[in-house]
């Protein structure tokens, strides 16, 4: 039963650790039925993870692993930012293809942003444009803030399919359709999902921002691990945002973006003006109120305390501060350049009680009333807060299918960062979730294996508990239960029982008796002589058996011998001359008792 409880606690620990990301309302995204799980059997884990470049298993619009070590197809921007200082307007940030600094899988490379405090811009064309129609859009890639992040982003832009798209001129104003990915500055941690929706009447593109995720994003920026970011847009106008294949945000393009896709039917009339006589005052001074005659507005708020007395020892002629007598002019002091040297001033040591002109302290003036003002009353002419009248919105439209965005045909990273070594890897754009999941398994999943293999189980438990402090209680119970079981099984119960038996016997044997008690016992014995002989014989036989048993030697432990000897010494010290006091020892009582039967 003890062991069943132990295994129960171990099972609870396992479930708790694996369910750590299930709280805070985060929904776990199930993998597709056709996706293959990462094989994590103990026998197949090795000190060095065997990495193989992921290969897409279905139709894709774009993939990039950077494992070739070359930026084939990628274009560095030569543009300059507008409205920016010339020195920092150039996109001269450096990019490199490198392996991860930690938890690397040999052969697995990524694109790394290398420069601090510089603008970076790089882009590439998709294998084919993505056209929003009846198939989902799935965008997925990996990010690792290897040195943490102070201020900067790691988001991507999907560039609009326009005739004037020039990747060498890619800059912050280049038209994009979707912006997606992490961004941080100060203590503001964001995960952008922005779409640019084209107004059907004006032709102007308007940014629509998805509501922020309802989870703590800080760990994804600070733990220096590789995280997988996934965006799913469905033809039914819904979307999902996932981190490490866990849903952190979801909603509808019709309801969960700001500003909303569809404008208001009515707007305020820009030509309407508030009338000059419009009274918005809810309260006004009472015009019938009169200032009381005894109201003195000239009384000050505070006056001198006339009851105060200058303390004894106050030095009126002494200054509060004096030149430091120990200060010396520096040797390099030049009065022509530095002016006349003056010693620094210190508190006057003579002013223990006070120095300078003494003035009584100030107290609140009991006669002060301040400036009189009439009380406020409800305004009988109050008309409320004025607002312009509503008119029909001339630019109103209703788009009931905002998923149908403008197509895009390029992917770009246009970033500024105060931290270097931001790692990007394993980009994929497709329409099937199973394809993206398999891609994640072959790429990001291998990194997770490398991370687990390097950290070890103990480090993983500690890391998990740091993120979820309540797990320390589970660890304590799981570690303490085996100790409790060992103590319960190995505790010397037999020794304890021997002590209890010895105490019981010693109490019965050494019970003190008085002379009156002995006389009562003698009367009972005399009455027994008058009983039939057979009863006496039976009693003698019974007593003989008792004596025989008592005469048999018994092995006693050292503890029992010490207890009995101590008790006998205590009995000897308690003897008295009175005939009602106890006898000298319990042994004498037993001998007298049994000798009486032998005489019979």
Q: What is the pLDDT of residue 519?
A: 60
| Torsion angle defined by CA atoms of residues 130, 131, 134 and 136, in that order, rounded to the nearest 10 degrees | 30
Q: What is the pLDDT of residue 579?
A: 43
Q: Model pTM?
A: 0.59
**Looking at the predicted structure, is the pLDDT value of residue 433 above 80?**
yes
Distance in Å from the first CA to the final CA of the chain: 60
- Which residue from 122, 119, 114, 118 is spatially nearest to 170, judged by alpha carbons? 122
Q: Which of the two residues, 461 and 267, has the higher pLDDT score? A: 267
CA atoms within 13 A on the CB side of 532: 3
Residues of the chain with pLDDT > 70: what percent?
70
316-356 pLDDT, tens digit per residue, is 889 989 999 999 999 888 888 888 999 999 999 989 899 98
| Torsion angle defined by CA atoms of residues 99, 103, 107 and 109, in that order, rounded to the nearest 10 degrees | -30
Q: Which of the two residues, 25 and 403, has the higher pLDDT score? A: 403
Euclidean distance between CA atoms 109 and 169, whole angstroms? 27
Q: What is the pLDDT of residue 337?
A: 85
Contact assessment for residue 253 and residue 403, using Cβ atoms and an 8 Å cutoff: yes
The answer for residues whose C-beta is within 8 angstroms of residue 522's C-beta and 6 or more apart is none
Contact assessment for residue 431 and residue 136, using Cβ atoms and an 8 Å cutoff: yes
484-520 pLDDT, tens digit per residue, is 777 777 765 544 444 455 454 444 444 455 555 556 6
CA angle, residues 170, 204, 412, in degrees to nearest 5: 20
Q: How far is the CA of 280 from the CAs of 231, 276, 277, 283, 384, in angstroms?
A: 50, 11, 10, 9, 5
Euclidean distance between CA atoms 39 and 53, whole angstroms? 17
One-letter-per-residue 3-state SS of 533-584: HHHHHHHHHHHHHHHHHHHCCCCCCHHHHHHHHHHHHHHHHCCCCCCCCCCC
Q: For residue 553, what are its two tokens? A: 């030697």
454-491 pLDDT, tens digit per residue, is 545 556 667 667 666 777 778 787 877 778 777 777 76
pLDDT, averaged across the chain: 80
The answer for residues whose C-beta is within 8 angstroms of residue 189's C-beta and 6 or more apart is 182, 217, 218, 220, 221
347-406 pLDDT, tens digit per residue, is 999 898 999 889 999 999 999 999 999 999 999 999 999 999 999 999 999 999 999 999
Q: What is the pLDDT of residue 589?
A: 41
Over range 527-554, report the average pLDDT: 48
């Amino acid at each position: 039963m003890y062991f069943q409880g132990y295994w129960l606690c171990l099972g609870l620990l396992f479930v708790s650790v694996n369910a750590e990301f299930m709280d805070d309302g985060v929904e776990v995204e199930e993998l597709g039925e056709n996706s293959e799980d990462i094989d994590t059997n103990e026998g197949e884990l090795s000190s060095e993870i065997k990495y193989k470049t992921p290969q897409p298993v279905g139709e894709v619009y774009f993939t990039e692993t950077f494992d070739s070590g070359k930026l084939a197809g990628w274009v560095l921007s030569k543009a300059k930012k507008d409205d920016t200082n010339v020195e920092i307007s150039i996109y001269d940030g450096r990019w490199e293809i490198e392996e991860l600094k930690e938890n690397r899988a040999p052969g697995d490379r990524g694109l790394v942003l290398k420069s601090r405090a510089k603008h970076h811009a790089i882009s590439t064309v998709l294998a084919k444009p993505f056209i929003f129609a009846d198939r989902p859009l799935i965008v997925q890639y990996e990010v690792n803030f290897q040195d943490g992040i102070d201020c900067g982003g790691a988001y991507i832009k999907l560039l609009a399919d326009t005739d004037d798209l020039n990747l060498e001129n890619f800059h912050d104003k280049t038209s994009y359709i979707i912006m997606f990915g992490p961004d941080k500055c100060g203590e503001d941690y964001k995960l952008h999902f922005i779409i640019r929706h084209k107004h059907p009447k004006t032709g102007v593109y308007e940014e629509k921002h998805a509501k922020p995720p309802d989870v703590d994003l800080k760990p994804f920026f600070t733990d220096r691990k590789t995280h997988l970011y996934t965006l799913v847009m469905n033809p039914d106008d819904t979307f999902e945002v996932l981190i490490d294949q866990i849903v952190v945000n979801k909603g509808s393009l019709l309801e969960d973006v700001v500003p909303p896709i569809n404008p208001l039917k009515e707007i305020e009339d820009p030509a309407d003006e508030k009338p000059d006589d419009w009274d918005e005052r809810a309260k006004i001074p009472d015009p019938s109120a009169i200032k009381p005659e005894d109201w003195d507005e000239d009384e000050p708020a505070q006056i001198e305390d006339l009851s105060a007395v200058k303390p004894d020892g106050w030095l009126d002629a002494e200054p509060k501060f004096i030149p430091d007598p120990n200060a010396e002019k520096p040797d390099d002091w030049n009065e022509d350049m530095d002016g006349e040297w003056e010693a620094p001033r210190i508190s006057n040591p003579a002013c223990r009680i006070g120095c300078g002109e003494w003035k009584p302290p100030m107290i609140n003036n009991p006669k002060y009333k301040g400036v009189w003002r009439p009380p406020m009353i409800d305004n009988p002419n109050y008309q409320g807060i004025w607002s312009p009248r509503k008119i029909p919105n001339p630019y109103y439209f209703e788009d009931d299918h905002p998923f149908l965005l403008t197509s895009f045909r390029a992917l770009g990273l246009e970033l500024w960062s105060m931290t270097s070594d931001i790692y990007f890897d394993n980009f994929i754009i497709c329409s099937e979730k199973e394809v993206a999941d398999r891609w994640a398994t072959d790429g990001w999943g291998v990194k997770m294996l490398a991370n687990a293999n390097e950290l070890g189980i103990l480090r993983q438990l500690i890391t998990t508990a740091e993120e979820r402090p309540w797990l320390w209680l589970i660890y304590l119970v799981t570690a303490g239960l085996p100790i409790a079981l060992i103590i319960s099984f190995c505790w010397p119960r037999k020794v304890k029982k021997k002590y209890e038996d010895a105490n019981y016997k010693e109490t019965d044997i050494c019970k003190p008796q008085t002379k009156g008690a002995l006389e009562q016992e003698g009367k009972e014995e005399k009455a027994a002589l008058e009983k039939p002989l057979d009863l006496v014989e039976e009693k003698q036989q019974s007593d003989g058996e008792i004596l025989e048993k008592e005469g048999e030697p018994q092995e006693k432990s050292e503890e029992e011998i010490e207890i009995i000897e101590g008790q006998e010494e205590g009995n000897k010290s308690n003897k008295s001359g009175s005939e009602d006091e106890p006898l000298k020892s319990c042994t004498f009582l037993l001998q007298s008792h049994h000798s009486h039967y032998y005489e019979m």
